[in-house]
A and B are shown apart, each in its own frame.
Chain A
Amino acid sequence: GESVGLHLPTLSVQEGDNSIINCAYSNSASDYFIWYKQESGKGPQFIIDIRSNMDKRQGQRVTVLLNKTVKHLSLQIAATQPGDSAVYFCAERGASYGKLTFGQGTILTVHP
């Protein structure tokens, strides 16, 4: 029979455009958030993190925004490149110090 799997959100952009990937988290007690990038056949790779006492953090071409009021996290990628094509995961850390809970992921496709 047909298998049922996660239906990942997808985002398709043109090279050079800015991309915004969104994530809703569940635990209001979470104090630390990370964005990971996973390319096909590879393990997740750290992009940027943010603590709950901040609402914005910038890296190289990436910005993470945190809105604790609505439990929303976003990743902005400036001047998106074909090499940015991947699945992007947000992760949150709650009460258990070492444990990260990952979101389902968003597929980003960048067209040349």
Chain B
Amino acid sequence: DAGVIQSPRHEVTEMGQEVTLRCKPISGHNSLFWYRQTMMRGLELLIYFNNNVPIDDSGMPEDRFSAKMPNASFSTLKIQPSEPRDSAVYFCASSLWAGRALEQFFGPGTRLTVL
């Protein structure tokens, strides 16, 4: 079992550029979560999907952030345009929604630095 796969592992970009983070959930899992972790705010849920449908995006900071899940095995988190305050580690997690989502399995994260 490969676990949750995220790419890239590290991203350094300049302010104003578009950033796309990618996630492949564990095969068979039907819930996917995007988190952001910073020293200031800890671990925050941005958005989660169930069966490829966004369920709760209340944690998405602003319109510069968007997430998609075109199929069960792939999701993207896009920031356009990026700003220095977006610098953080972004985690993707997946779980099996068996009536109620339980244990979430986290990927290794993408460390984003916006200069």
Which residues of A pack against B, CB within 8 Å?
A: 3-6, 32, 34, 36, 41-46, 49, 89, 93, 96-105
A98 and B103 CA atoms in complex are apart in Å by 10
B36 to chain A, nearest CB (A): 11
A45 and B106 CA atoms in complex are apart in Å by 7
B106: chain A residues within 8 A (beta carbon): 36, 43-45
B103 to chain A, nearest CB (A): 5
Let me know if B40 and A6 touch, CB within 8 A.
yes
Let me know if A98 and B91 touch, CB within 8 A.
no
6 smallest CB-CB distances across A and B, nearest first, come from A43-B106, A5-B39, A98-B101, A102-B43, A97-B100, A44-B106
A3: chain B residues within 8 A (beta carbon): 39-40
B43 to chain A, nearest CB (A): 4
A96: chain B residues within 8 A (beta carbon): 55-56
Given A4-B40, A99-B48, the answer on whether A46 and B103 have CB atoms closer than 8 Å is yes
Let me know if A49 and B102 touch, CB within 8 A.
yes
Further 6 A-B residue pairs, CB within 8 A, beyond A4-B40, A46-B105, A104-B42: A5-B39, A43-B93, A43-B108, A93-B101, A98-B97, A102-B43
A99: chain B residues within 8 A (beta carbon): 45, 48, 56
Closest to B105 in A: A46
Q: How large is the interface on B (under 10, 10 to 19, 20 to 34, 35 or more residues)?
A: 20 to 34
A34 and B106 CA atoms in complex are apart in Å by 13
Given A6-B39, A100-B45, the answer on whether A44 and B103 have CB atoms closer than 8 Å is no
B95: chain A residues within 8 A (beta carbon): 98
A104 and B41 CA atoms in complex are apart in Å by 8
A45 and B93 CA atoms in complex are apart in Å by 10
A104: chain B residues within 8 A (beta carbon): 42
Let me know if A44 and B91 touch, CB within 8 A.
yes
| Any A CB within 8 A of the CB of B25 | no
Let me know if A100 and B100 touch, CB within 8 A.
no
